[in-house]
Chains A and B, each alone.
Chain A
Amino acid sequence: MTVLSIHNLNVTFSTEGGDLHALKDVSFEVPERRIVGIVGESGCGKSTLINAILGLLADNGRVSGGEMMFQGRDLSRLSPREMTALRGPQIATVFQDPMGALNPVISVGRQMTNIQYRSGLSNAEKAERAVAMLRRVRIPDPEAALARFPHQFSGGMKQRIAIAMALMMEPALLIADEPTTALDATLEVATIELLQELQAQIGCSVLFISHHLGVIAELCEDVVVMYAGEVVERGTTRQVFNSPRHPYTERLLDCDPARQSSRTRQLPTIPGEIPDLRARPPGCIFAPRCHRRAPVCDTPPPDEAVQDGHKARCHMVTP
């Protein structure tokens, strides 16, 4: 079973300089009970993708093609009202900055009971569930924590409270957008481990967005690599990280200083920049920066299957 299946999704923004094709033919699946990572650098379309899934594209943006099937329904065809009913109970989110999710002037306890307004439980039961959830995310002394305000918690605890709130309604899909980026290394790994544990207990699927390759490798079972609004490669994390087939994935992995176990004074880079998405080249989007560019790359590349479930959008891939 797949929870979310995205097929040939296209998103376009109207700008003064013409239409900006932000996502082009994006396809991937989030299977049930699986953690799927999306990795890519600034400007690769990660945030646009999340906003499209959540129905929160800016006013000048629109889904210009393709479908996003969530539990048998195409999210791009739902009314704003139907989307509001889905967001939260069915599709929950955690963002980079927990203070964006927490109201600074309302106690944590009240916020955690408020979000259960559709559950039909009594206030005592709601509070009990809030305490249980805080305990699961290892907030010390959860009963007392209910009366406290967000600023009275450390950054790591605030993010754990945001995770607790997102998972409280046991959603089918959790979208986590760079949830550990602002945390220190030791807190980051603790948060990843917690997320993994909660995902297994609740049995939800997770779409985990990060630019941190190490975190993706550690947490995710599948990975989707994005570049300039396209999915250039996808597969299981092992397939993609151990035998990357798209030149961009290859270069990106090379660039991570963590992969250079011996000390080097000259670190690899990817010269060039992401092209202007208002004028996409007709051929491969990565061709201008690619070290394996050939004449055929001026024509649109196919989604070439490497092996089961492992695909790369590149002319140079041979199965």
Chain B
Amino acid sequence: MILSVRDLQVSFPVGRLMNRSAILGVAGVSFDIAAGETFALVGESGSGKTTLARAVNLLQPISAGEITFDGKRIDGLKGAATKPLRREMAMMFQDPVGSLSPRVQVRDIVTEPFRVHGVEADLRAEADRLLSLVGLSGDFANRFPHQLSGGQARRVGVARAIALNPKLIIADEPTAGLDVSVQGEVLNLLNDLRERLGLAMLIITHNLHVVHHVADRMAVMYLGRFVETGETEAIFQAPAHPYTAALLSANPEPDPDKAKDRISLPAEVPSLLARPTGCEFHTRCPWAQSRCGTEAPAAQGTDRRIACHFPLSPGARPPAVQETAS
């Protein structure tokens, strides 16, 4: 395993003086990523996926749990001790142009990791090598970020991330804000680099269609917990947690004749300040029963883990919808 995370928690303090308390942004998650594997974190805004990724990269202090990277515990590392780690674990940020300094040429952007980590290299040759790896011609080395299209800026971000041959890349919404015709390019590039360089990847996204085509395994997050984890293909074929099923059904497909058997979720996502009792999804779950409101479900299974008292059978429809349909 290149990365192992056990019972990770991240808490944020809220309130002042007398009514100080804390909310759990990440409320105890465990997962492993094998070398060369792509693992996707899926969830809606506020589900904790970015916080989790930042915690793995030690950009966010954790309040409990263990992070093991390449056989070494890293969760206690601080300050200068984290620096060698960042060579091995590269981060790709969400905003493609915004994460590139506007006054620095592409050549210097992609070779910045060499300077930061004091790695001796022929920077000119390295820039050419990295740009060609991500499919950009050498001319791009002299450009500034504002002279790049969204897709090209992403490629530069990828080039910078792979500069020092990391073992793991953490990509936060790698295709957000890109047009569909360009989105494919970036995903193909990531798939290709993974095969050629043997990279492991942690991809954070809310776009399920993207996950389907790049990730080997995935985890669905809700209120800072994993509700379902498993092989991507298996989860797409038969989602077992009602929240996963609802998310998958809420993906409009570009086909006007497609039957819209959608699972709509009542109410809004609960506040982290007032987590529901029992199963935290029961307030919105169309299948919820009385037990769900009182008893929190433990994640069942090994390869495929589902935190639900009543996992769905394939093709299950919400109870209310079945009544109206018949």
Please report A residues at the B interface, Cβ cutoff 8 Å. Answer: 41-42, 154-157, 184-190, 192-193, 211-218, 237-238, 241-242, 251-253, 255-260, 263-270, 273
Contacts and interface: CB of A to CB of B under 8 A. Distances in A.
Interface stretch (B26-34, B98-106, B203-211): B203-211
26 contacts: A41-B180, A154-B269, A185-B247, A185-B251, A187-B44, A189-B264, A213-B180, A214-B252, A217-B253, A251-B181, A252-B181, A256-B254, A257-B183, A257-B210, A257-B212, A258-B254, A263-B213, A264-B213, A265-B214, A267-B183, A267-B187, A267-B213, A269-B181, A269-B184, A269-B188, A273-B149
Contacts of B212: 257, 260, 263
Given A217-B252, A269-B181, 6 more contacts: A41-B181, A154-B269, A255-B180, A257-B183, A260-B213, A265-B213
Give me the 9 closest cross-chain CB pairs, A-B, nearest first.
A214-B252, A267-B184, A213-B254, A41-B179, A270-B181, A184-B44, A257-B209, A269-B184, A185-B250
B182 interface: yes
The A interface is mostly helix, strand or loop, or mixed, namely helix
Interface stretch (B163-171, B255-263, B311-319): B255-263
B213 A253 contact: no
Contact of A258 (B150, B187, B251): B251
Contacts of B24: none
B254 A259 contact: yes
Contact of B264 (A190, A215, A251, A267): A190
A189 B253 CA distance: 11
Which of under 10, 10 to 19, 20 to 34, or 35 or more describes the interface residues of B?
35 or more
A254 B181 CA distance: 9
Contacts of A264: 213
Contacts of A253: 254
Contacts of B250: 185-186, 188-189
A7 B206 CA distance: 39
Contacts of A42: 150, 179
A242 B254 contact: no
Contacts of A214: 251-254
B265 interface: yes
Nearest to A210: B252
Contacts of A260: 212-213
Interface string B180-195: 1111110110010000
Contacts of A255: 180-181, 183-184
B265 A186 contact: yes
A251 to B, nearest CB: 7
Interface string B205-236: 01011101110000000000000000011001
B258 to A, nearest CB: 8
A215 B188 contact: no
With most chain A CB atoms within 10 A of its CB, the pick from B184, B212, B236, B258 is B184
B185 to A, nearest CB: 5
A257 B213 contact: yes
B280 to A, nearest CB: 16
A259 B181 contact: no
Interface in B96-115: none
Contact of B45 (A184, A216, A238, A267): A184
Contacts of B256: 217-218, 237-238, 241-242
A140 B211 CA distance: 34
Contact of A238 (B183, B257, B260): B257
Contacts of A188: 250, 252
Contact of A186 (B150, B180, B246): B246
Given A185-B247, A255-B184, A267-B187, A242 B257 contact: yes
A273 B148 CA distance: 11
